[in-house]
Amino acid sequence: MFELIKRDLIPISWLHTQDFCEYQLYLQHVLRIKLPATKEMLSGLQKHAELEQAFREKAAPIEEPIETHINKLLRGEIEPFSMREFSLKSEKYRLTGKIDEIQLFRERALIIDNKPSLSAKAADINQLRAYCLCFSDAYRWEGEICNAVQNSESQKFVFAERFNEDAKLAAEGLISRMHALFSGNADFSAADEKWKCAACRFNAVCKKAAYKPGQ
C-alpha cells in the first residue's frame, strides 16, 4: 500500500480538494476512480482557455529561458512582464503547479489565480500560498511576493495578500500534510459536513459519505 500511493511531487491544484475532503483525494488519486467532469469544471476549463487565448493575442512571446529573462528584469534591463499558464516545480517542497497568471516587477512578484467566485475561499488561499512557496524556491526569488484571486468574468480582484512569514508557515504545514497523506504516514480524513457529501461527485462510490441521497 505504501509504495502504491507514494508520490514524489504533489500537484498544487490538489490542495483545493484537500480543503474540501481529503477522502476525495484518496478516491481520486489513490484508488484512481474516474468520474465525468461536472458542468462547473467544464465551464472553468472553458473560461481559462478563453483568458489564455485573449492573453496570447496581446502578449509577445519570451524567446529565452525564463531565468535569463528574470535576471534581466532584476538588473533593470527590461520592463516588468507577465506570463500565463506558467509551470512551476519545486524540488525543496516537492510541488508542481501551473499559475494562471504571474506579473513580475523588479521588486515584486504578483501571482494571480482566476476563479468564478466573488470572494476567496480558504482553499483558494491555500492554493495561492502554495504557488508562492513553489515560485520562491523554483526561481530563488528574494523580493516580495503577493498573491490575488481575480474574478474570471469581471477581472476584478476579490482577494489579495502579501506572502509573509505567517502565510509561508501555513503553506509549509499544509504541504507537509499532503506529503504525509501521499506517503502513507497519515490517514485521509473524510468530510463530516452533510452538505459537502450532498454536493460531492464521488458520493455514489464513497463508503464514508456522511449523507447519501434517498437515505
- Which residues of the shown chain bind ligand SF4 in the complex (CB under 6 A)? 21, 23-24, 27, 190-191, 196-197, 200, 202-203, 206, 208-210
CA distance linking residue 103 with residue 80, whole number of Å: 7
Q: Which residues pair with 115 in a beta bridge?
A: 151
Asked whether 112 and 102 are in contact (CB, 8 A), the reply is yes
Q: What's the closest the beta carbon of residue 100 comes to ligand SF4, in angstroms?
A: 25
Indicate the Cα dihedral angle 40, 42, 44, 49, nearest 10°. Answer: -170
Q: What's the closest the beta carbon of residue 15 comes to ligand SF4, in angstroms?
A: 15
Q: What's the closest the beta carbon of residue 146 comes to ligand SF4, in angstroms?
A: 32
Q: What's the closest the beta carbon of residue 23 comes to ligand SF4, in angstroms?
A: 4
Closest CB to ligand SF4 among residues 24, 126: 24
Sign (positive/negative) of CA torsion 88, 167, 30, 215? negative
Phi, psi of 99 (to 5 degrees): -85, 135
SS (H, E, C) 24-79: HHHHHHHCCCCCCCCHHHHHHHHHHHHHHHHHHHHCCCCCCCHHHHHHHHHCCCCC
Q: What's the closest the beta carbon of residue 201 comes to ligand SF4, in angstroms?
A: 8
Closest CB to ligand SF4 among residues 95, 200: 200
Asked whether 161 and 57 are in contact (CB, 8 A), the reply is no
Closest CB to ligand SF4 among residues 23, 131: 23
Closest CB to ligand SF4 among residues 104, 191: 191
Q: What's the closest the beta carbon of residue 215 comes to ligand SF4, in angstroms?
A: 12
Closest CB to ligand SF4 among residues 82, 189: 189
- Residue among 97, 102, 88 at smallest CA distance from 140: 88
Q: Which residues pair with 87 in a beta bridge?
A: 98
Closest CB to ligand SF4 among residues 9, 123: 123
